[in-house]
Structure 1
C-alpha cells in the first residue's frame, strides 16, 4: 500500500472528524471513534494536531469554509436575484445535520472566544456574499437603491432566525411559510425600482 502524504493524511483526519460531527454531533465524537472511522492510530492524530480541541476547531473551520465554497460554486452563474433567492431559501427542510453543526458552533462561541472569532469570521463571509448579490442586483436595475450592508444584515438575521426555528422543529408548512416570509421581506426591503 502506498504511503499517504502527510497533508493527505491530515485532510483525511479532518474530513473524518467532520463526517462524524455531522453524523453524531460535535460533542459526542471520541478520539477512538475517529481513529476507527479513519483507520489510523491515535498517535497519528496527535502527530498532526496538538490536541483534540485543535483538531475539532480546524475540522469545523474546514467544514464551514467548504460549505461556503460549495454555495458560491452552486450560484456562480446565477443572476443576482436568483442567487439572492437561493441564499434566503437555503433553509433546513428536515432535521439537517449541517445546520445542527452550525448551531453547536454558535453555542460553543458563547463560551469560547476562539469559537466566537470563527463564528464571526464565517458570518462575515456569508454577509459579504449576500451584499454582493444585493449590490449586483442594484447595479443591474433589479432592485432599488438601498444601504447594502444594512439590508444584508437584516436579511441575514431573518434567514438565521428562520433556520433556528426550522432546525428545532422543521415541518413542510413552516418551511414554505419561512420561504414566503423571506421573499416578502426581500420585496419590502429592496423590491423593484420605483416601487
Structure 2
C-alpha cells in the first residue's frame, strides 16, 4: 500500500513539472493537473498540504535531480571540458526545455519568500559547481591562479545575462556574439596567464 502511495505521489510530482515546463509555474492550475492525471482534486491534496507545498516539492526535486545528473556527467572530465559543458547548458543554440520553469520561478521569487529561498539555494549550489570547476582547472594547471569565487560570480553574471537575452530575443548573431564574449572572458581571466606560466 505504501509503495502504491509513493508511486502516485511521484506521478503527481512528475506531471506538475511537465506542466510547469510547458506553461510556466504561475499559469498552471490544480485543474490542469487533475485533467492531466485524470484524478479528483481531493486526490491531489491527499498527498500535499496545498498548491505551494506541491509546487515547491516538485521544483526542488527536479532541480536536485538536474544538478546531481550534471555533476555525475562532468565528474570524469578534465576541467576545460567541464567548464564548456557548464557554459553549453546555459548558452546554446538549442532552446532549453526547462526554460519556462526557471523563468517563472525567477519571477515568483520577486514576491514570494518560499520561492525566493528555493531559487537562492539552487543558484548557490550551481555557483559552487562552477567554483569547483575553476578550482579543478587551477589544480590541473590549465587555469591560472585566480579568486575562484569571484571569477565564478563574474562568469555567472555573463552567462545568465546572455541566457536571458537569448531567451527573450533569440538570434544567431547574438548567440555568436555571446559565445565570442564568453570565450574572450575565459581567455583573459583563466587562460592567458596560465599559458604564460606553462611556456
Is the structural similarity TM-score above 0.5?
Answer: yes
Instruction: Give the gaps of 5 or more residues in structure 1.
Output: none
Distance in structure 2 (CA, Å) of the matches to 1:75 and 1:63: 19
Distance in structure 1 (CA, Å) of the matches to 2:94 and 2:86: 17
- Within a 5 Å distance, the mapping from 1:139-158 to structure 2 comes to 139-158=139-158
**Once the 2 structures are TM-superposed, how far is the Cα of residue 133 of structure 1 from its aligned partner?**
0.7
Task: Note if contact 1:21-1:29 (Cα within 8 Å) is conserved in structure 2.
Answer: yes
**Once the 2 structures are TM-superposed, how far is the Cα of residue 194 of structure 1 from its aligned partner?**
5.0
**Once the 2 structures are TM-superposed, how far is the Cα of residue 148 of structure 1 from its aligned partner?**
0.8
Which residue does the alignment assign to 1:60? 59
Task: Encode CA deviations 1:121-147: one digit per residue, 9 max, x unaligned.
Answer: 000110111011100100111011001
**Once the 2 structures are TM-superposed, how far is the Cα of residue 149 of structure 1 from its aligned partner?**
0.7
**1:5 aligns to what SS in structure 2?**
helix
- Within a 5 Å distance, the mapping from 1:34-73 to structure 2 comes to 34-73=33-72
Task: Note if contact 1:22-1:98 (Cα within 8 Å) is conserved in structure 2.
Answer: yes
**Once the 2 structures are TM-superposed, how far is the Cα of residue 94 of structure 1 from its aligned partner?**
5.2
Distance in structure 2 (CA, Å) of the matches to 1:22 and 1:135: 33
Which residue does the alignment assign to 1:26? 25
**2:98 aligns to what SS in structure 1?**
helix
Check 1:109–1:191 CA distance in 2 against 1; reply closer, same or farther (3 A cut): same
**Once the 2 structures are TM-superposed, how far is the Cα of residue 171 of structure 1 from its aligned partner?**
1.7
Task: Encode CA deviations 1:47-68: one digit per residue, 9 max, x unaligned.
Answer: 1111111111211212222221
Name the structure where helix makes up a greater proportion of residues: 2
- Root-mean-square deviation over aligned CA pairs: 1.8
**Once the 2 structures are TM-superposed, how far is the Cα of residue 81 of structure 1 from its aligned partner?**
0.7
- Within a 5 Å distance, the mapping from 1:150-189 to structure 2 comes to 150-189=150-189
Distance in structure 1 (CA, Å) of the matches to 2:114 and 2:12: 21
User: Structure 1 length normalisation: TM-score?
Assistant: 0.91
Check 1:136–1:95 CA distance in 2 against 1; reply closer, same or farther (3 A cut): closer
Distance in structure 2 (CA, Å) of the matches to 1:92 and 1:169: 14
Which residue does the alignment assign to 1:117? 117
Distance in structure 2 (CA, Å) of the matches to 1:165 and 1:171: 10
Distance in structure 1 (CA, Å) of the matches to 2:97 and 2:77: 26
Distance in structure 2 (CA, Å) of the matches to 1:51 and 1:25: 18
**Once the 2 structures are TM-superposed, how far is the Cα of residue 26 of structure 1 from its aligned partner?**
1.3
Distance in structure 2 (CA, Å) of the matches to 1:109 and 1:47: 27
Task: Note if contact 1:94-1:166 (Cα within 8 Å) is conserved in structure 2.
Answer: no
Distance in structure 1 (CA, Å) of the matches to 2:6 and 2:66: 21
**1:68 aligns to what SS in structure 2?**
helix
Check 1:52–1:92 CA distance in 2 against 1; reply closer, same or farther (3 A cut): farther
Between the two proteins, the alignment pairs up a number of residues equal to 194
